[in-house]
Amino acid sequence: MEYATQMEAAKKGILTQQMQSVAAQEQIAPETLLQRVAAGTVVIPANHHHKSLRPHGIGQGLSTKINVNLGISGDCRDYTCELAKAKLALQFDAEAIMDLSNYGKTNTFRKQLLELSTAMVGTVPMYDAVGYLEKDLRDIKAKDFLEVVRAHAEEGVDFVTIHAGINRKSIDSFERSGRRMNIVSRGGSLIYAWMKMTGNENPFFEYFDDLMDILYAHDVTISLGDAMRPGCIDDATDAAQVSELVELGLLTERAWSHHVQVMIEGPGHMMLQEIAPNMQMEKRLCHNAPFYVLGPLVTDIAPGYDHITSAIGGAVAAAAGADFLCYVTPAEHLRLPSLPDVKEGILAAKIAAHAGDLVKNVPGARAWDNRMGDARRALDWGAMFKEALDREKAEAYFQSAHPAEKNTCTMCGKMCAVRNMNRILQGESVSLQ
């Protein structure tokens, strides 16, 4: 093969099958997409071994994608339920699924997920290290961590979150900052703990070039994790977060020199007015690499409703340039999400992503809303349900109540503005009796 990764192919001017597929989906010229992949402003995570994958692009000029997190924990170990969540994510066209399982041997489930999933599959190998290596965190050697990454790459994972930006230099800012919530990234906290217990440098930073060799061989996209992301609005855009982002920008260029595709992960909690400047700062410091954000959650006071606080921030982030939204469910901060929680999280993220696409003038985004507008003007309920993001819920709501006036709903009945405007503009009289 003339190339190992989508980026390497693009740099050589080779238009891959995956690029052609993404260009058709996104309604852009294949040559334009090729240039963006070569520049690193678009990524197409597509591991050679993920045979069921329907490729998607993330980045400049493309529709905003969403990711669905799932996976078992030590307290909740039902893989059947997690597989059902994956099927739900695919039903609602989530473009990515991350397996965040963090207990025991996880590879059997991961292989099942890769066989099933037409969506991109991501992992955080750090979560799997203790179970995979069968060692306590303190006893894991630096290069052991790379073997976990290698195993995930060989299984077919399309992108991996690697917290390589948390190093001795960046943790100095954290330790002096007096953060309210400290480190809330699970992977970041484990790396920090390992560094403090062993006295060593972050192995993913120290052996970054070796890590790139593994990812290059299988075309695994690196999602440079935000270990210092704010876990409450009071910690947003502080020295710890920004110092890590500077490191991620430097690591981006190193990854690109190995022809490895890169995404940058971003903030979790911040006030509304900080979101757009953070999107711009990431694009500037990380050379316009695609930005992957969790939320952001715009307030800390709504446990049980964090899919809403996340969707508000996600819409603003997408409109300001974020390329990839990680969903948040109502169970965030409270428990492992149930199937209904997952559905709520998916739909909230999809709404936020589409709201951002309208602002970014993504091809086809406004046409979808226009089709709904036309269906509503015509009081064509079948067409409305067809365009609805969640047809099942919309149809069930409508059918649960029976208006006296045909083709209206029980909100307005004969006072329906649409019905009455249609009649009067057609020269008919309007009667409310």
Domains assigned to the chain: 59-360 (3.20.20.540), 409-433 (no CATH)
pLDDT at 81 over 80: yes
Q: What average pLDDT does the chain have?
A: 96
pLDDT at residue 405 in the model? 86
Mind listing the pLDDT tens digit for each residue in 238-266?
999 999 999 999 999 999 999 999 999 99
What are 280-335's pLDDT values in tens digits?
Answer: 999 999 999 999 999 999 999 999 999 999 999 999 999 999 999 999 999 999 99
Cα-Cα end-to-end distance for the chain: 75
Cβ atoms of 12 and 2 closer than 8 Å: yes
Q: Is the pLDDT reported for residue 433 higher than 90? A: no
pLDDT at 177: 86
* Chain segment 168-195, per-residue pLDDT in tens: 999 998 999 889 999 999 999 999 999 9
What percentage of the chain exceeds 90 in pLDDT? 94
Rounded Cα distance, 135 and 204, in Å: 18
Q: Which residue has the tokens 């400290």?
A: 182
Q: Which range has the worst mean pLDDT, 8-17, 73-82, 213-222, 373-382?
A: 73-82
- Mean local confidence (pLDDT), 339-365: 98
Listed residue (26, 90, 52, 35) closest to 323, CA to CA: 26
pLDDT greater than 90 at residue 159: yes
pLDDT tens per residue, range 404-423: 888 899 999 999 999 999 99
Q: What is the mean pLDDT of residues 204-221?
A: 98
Q: Give the C-alpha distances (Å, rounded to integers) separating 19 from 30, 237, 263, 290, 374.
A: 7, 35, 17, 16, 33
Q: What would the mean pLDDT of 157-172 be, rounded to a whole number?
A: 96
pLDDT above 70 covers a percentage of the chain that reads 100
Place of tokens 């990764």: 5
Residue 96 phi, psi dihedral angles, 5° rounding: -145, 150
- Looking at per-residue pLDDT, the higher value among 216 and 431 belongs to 216
Confidence of residue 130 (pLDDT cuts 50, 70, 90): confident
What does the H/E/C string look like for 211-234?
Answer: HHHHHHHHCCEEEECCCCCCCCHH
**What local confidence, expressed as pLDDT, does residue 105 receive?**
86
Residue 1 has pLDDT above 80, yes or no: no
Distance of CA 425 to the CA centre of its chain: 46
